[in-house]
Amino acid sequence: MTPKLQLLFEQLPDLLGGHLTLAVPAIFIGVLISVPLGILCVKSATVRGPVMSLVSLVQTIPSIALLAIMVALLGGTIGYWPAFIALLVYSILPIIRNTIVGLESVDPAMREAAKAVGMRPLQQLLLVELPLALPVILAGIRTATVWVVGIATLSTPVGAPSLGNYIFSGLQLRDWQRVIFGCIATMTLSLVLDQLIAVIEKSIQSRRRVSLVLATCALASLVGIGLAPGLVTPDSAGFANLLGQREGAEEANDLVESTMTLDGQVIRIGAKGFTEQFILAEVLRERIRKVGGTPEVLTNMGSTIVFDALAKNTIDIYIDYTGTLWSTVLKELDPINRISMRAVVAGRLFDEFGIVVVGSLGFENTYALVTKRETVARYGLSQIGDITPAARDLRIGGDPEFFGRPEWQRVRQLYSLGDITEVGMDSTFMYQAVADGQVDVAAGFSTDGRIDAFDLAVLKDPKQAFPPYDAVILLSPEASKNKNLVHAIEPLVNRISVTAMRTANRLVDEGGETPKEAAGQLLPD
């Protein structure tokens, strides 16, 4: 087995555990809610209309949006609960629908026979109607299972670890092996659960007690794992804790701040879903481990979700960018210069949210117009303004979203680039497109490793049309009271230059290294 594959397998118990913990209880409780609700719908037309319209309507909400809505409805809580509730909601429709269809397809003669042998209404339901409708109801439960197991992969961005972690990080790292591994693991889990239910169904029909008992036990133990969320996590956390303390102890002699220990405290690190954030999360993890803390990392979180989680103390620390905070959190429109923005953001985050900006990491990840060295030579380019005379003949590539953003409007206006041709493309391909000459300029990111990989030049922005995107370390209101944590983090301030960050990103994006390895090289102390 290759080391890379081995790494993927090492993460499997945690991620599979997380996935089961979400999916199995969601389906189980989904059954407990939907079957009675389905019965009620069959017995009462007044219940049925509203219930079915509501359930069908909810089902049409795109799953990723439903997850985000749950975070909002729970007042910004991230992690297990919003993901669980969204999955529960998704399990309901197929089960209700099949319960109704199953009960309504029971031969009316059977219902009359049940009455004629002297059954009361509840006995008719339990002894005759439900058993006869069972195959159809189980088919609904199987559909729900396949849906829920699939959709559970989407709970990664709201901070609930699942097999989706492989898929999301694989997409960001352009590591297809990782993506495929995640897909196969998810599909296998779906199939196993589906087959377990099929075995239960068959053994009920053919009245084979033994296989019924076995399959039910297997399913029940999965439900058990699922219903005891503590079972998987604390155990592995405890293990990590041991490791963390031991490593911390080994290194203790070398560290100046060795008196400041986090004493095994759990520190929750958040990260958004792109390469640089994965690497920085590893940097923070290593830092916290070195001072004796127990780091827990939640990656692939949505951009606003990770901020809300920090504000609510659900996570303790993460890295964000001043320009992003300026527009999305503080809702400011026009940018100001780098130093002032850092000061204003720090002041207002503290005043309005109690969030503390420990400091800047030392680099900016801003938008950057990049171009080939040949183009630089041909047109004599050094800054964005130099493009203006040739704008009519040039093509600029970028994310379709970028061309709709106010940043681009400002650049076009300040440098009079109205005549340039815009070519929308996925950001994955735009560096390659510039290198191949398919476009002349690309709107990239200043820390992207592919700028170096393709030997591209970054055009200067003397008019500061792009807002500053200083990478800053943020601590939650609670975490900022932890003096030892603040001291542990402070040495990171101003330690990472833009070229160092770019190199680290490149190691992961092009060199196939893990974010952890890249983090090790970024700060090799």
Partner 1 sequence: MNMDVPAIELVALTKCFRNAKKPAVDSVNLSVAQGEVLAIVGGSGSGKTTTLKMINRLIEPTSGSVRVMGEDVTNRDPVILRRSIGYAFQGVGLFPHMTVGQNVGVTLRLLSQSGECVSKRVDELLTMVELPADEYRDRLPAELSGGQQQRVGFARALASKPRAILMDEPFGALDPITRDGLQQEFRSLQKKLQLSVVLVTHDMSEAVLLSDRVAVMHEGEVAQVGSPRELLTNPVNDYVAQLIDTPRRHSDFIESLMRMAPGEGTQ
Interface with partner 1 (CB under 8 A), residue total: 16
Task: Give the residue, chosen from 131, 238, 406, 424, that forms a contact with partner 1 under the rule CB under 8 A.
Answer: 131
Smallest gap, in angstroms, from Cβ of residue 182 to partner 1?
41
Smallest gap, in angstroms, from Cβ of residue 35 to partner 1?
17
- Is 246 a residue that touches partner 1 (CB under 8 A)? no
Across-strand partners of 445? 367
Distance, CA of 211 to chain centre: 39
Task: Give the residue, chosen from 3, 62, 75, 118, that forms a contact with partner 1 under the rule CB under 8 A.
Answer: 118
DSSP string, 360-423: EEEEE--EEEEEEHHHHHHHT-SBGGGGGGGGGG-EEEE-HHHHTSHHHHHHHHHTT-TTSEEE
- Is 120 a residue that touches partner 1 (CB under 8 A)? yes
- Is 208 a residue that touches partner 1 (CB under 8 A)? no
Widest Cα–Cα separation across the chain: 97
Residue 290 near residue 248, CB atoms below 8 Å: yes
Residue 466 DSSP one-character state: S
Query: Is the CB of 113 or the CB of 217 nearer to partner 1?
Result: 113
- Is 72 a residue that touches partner 1 (CB under 8 A)? no
Q: Rounded to 5 degrees, what are φ and ψ at 274? A: -140, 165
**What is d(CA 300, CA 278) in angstroms, rounded to the nearest whole number?**
8
Smallest gap, in angstroms, from Cβ of residue 309 to partner 1?
51
Query: Is the CB of 205 or the CB of 236 nearer to partner 1?
Result: 205
Residue type at 72 in one-letter notation: A
- Is 486 a residue that touches partner 1 (CB under 8 A)? no
Smallest gap, in angstroms, from Cβ of residue 115 to partner 1?
6
Smallest gap, in angstroms, from Cβ of residue 106 to partner 1?
11
Query: Is the CB of 116 or the CB of 256 nearer to partner 1?
Result: 116
- The tokens for 258 are 């060795």
Alpha-carbon dihedral sign for residues 247, 248, 251, 253: negative
**Residue 194 CB coordination number (10 Å):** 16
Query: Is the CB of 64 or the CB of 127 nearer to partner 1?
Result: 127
Q: Rounded to 5 degrees, what are φ and ψ at 359? A: 160, 180
Subset of 409-468 contacting partner 1 (CB under 8 A): none
Task: Give the residue, chosen from 127, 187, 198, 523, that forms a contact with partner 1 under the rule CB under 8 A.
Answer: 127
**Under 8 Å CB-to-CB from 55, ≥6 apart: which residues?**
92, 93, 96
CA dihedral 481, 485, 488, 494 (to 10 degrees): -60
Subset of 132-151 contacting partner 1 (CB under 8 A): 132
**What is d(CA 45, CA 73) in angstroms, rounded to the nearest whole number?**
30
Distance, CA of 385 to chain centre: 38
Subset of 315-334 contacting partner 1 (CB under 8 A): none
Smallest gap, in angstroms, from Cβ of residue 202 to partner 1?
14
**What is d(CA 242, CA 263) in angstroms, rounded to the nearest whole number?**
11
Measured in residues, the chain has a length of: 525
Smallest gap, in angstroms, from Cβ of residue 102 to partner 1?
13
Distance, CA of 89 to chain centre: 20
The interface region with partner 1, picked from 16-24, 122-130, 334-342, 484-492 by CB under 8 A, is: 122-130
Task: Give the residue, chosen from 11, 123, 241, 303, that forms a contact with partner 1 under the rule CB under 8 A.
Answer: 123
Smallest gap, in angstroms, from Cβ of residue 124 to partner 1?
10
Task: Give the residue, chosen from 119, 180, 218, 255, that forms a contact with partner 1 under the rule CB under 8 A.
Answer: 119
Strand 395-398 versus strand 441-445 pairing type: parallel
Smallest gap, in angstroms, from Cβ of residue 99 to partner 1?
17
**What is d(CA 249, CA 246) in angstroms, rounded to the nearest whole number?**
5
Smallest gap, in angstroms, from Cβ of residue 118 to partner 1?
3
Smallest gap, in angstroms, from Cβ of residue 128 to partner 1?
6
The interface region with partner 1, picked from 117-125, 143-151, 232-240, 331-339 by CB under 8 A, is: 117-125
Subset of 97-116 contacting partner 1 (CB under 8 A): 109-110, 112-116
User: Helices in 60-160 by DSSP H: which ranges?
Assistant: 63-73, 80-104, 108-116, 121-123, 130-151
- Is 202 a residue that touches partner 1 (CB under 8 A)? no
Query: Is the CB of 105 or the CB of 421 nearer to partner 1?
Result: 105
Strand 356-364 versus strand 470-475 pairing type: antiparallel
Smallest gap, in angstroms, from Cβ of residue 113 to partner 1?
4
Query: Is the CB of 209 or the CB of 331 nearer to partner 1?
Result: 209
Smallest gap, in angstroms, from Cβ of residue 203 to partner 1?
14
Task: Give the residue, chosen from 117, 126, 228, 343, that forms a contact with partner 1 under the rule CB under 8 A.
Answer: 117
Residue type at 383 in one-letter notation: Q
Query: Is the CB of 3 or the CB of 108 nearer to partner 1?
Result: 108
Alpha-carbon dihedral sign for residues 214, 220, 226, 229: negative
The interface region with partner 1, picked from 74-82, 119-127, 148-156, 228-236 by CB under 8 A, is: 119-127
**Under 8 Å CB-to-CB from 274, ≥6 apart: which residues?**
172
Q: Tokens 């290593």 map to which residue?
A: 286
Coil, strand or helix: which one is 477? coil
- Is 48 a residue that touches partner 1 (CB under 8 A)? no
Give residues in contact with partner 1 (CB under 8 A).
Answer: 109-110, 112-120, 123, 127-128, 131-132
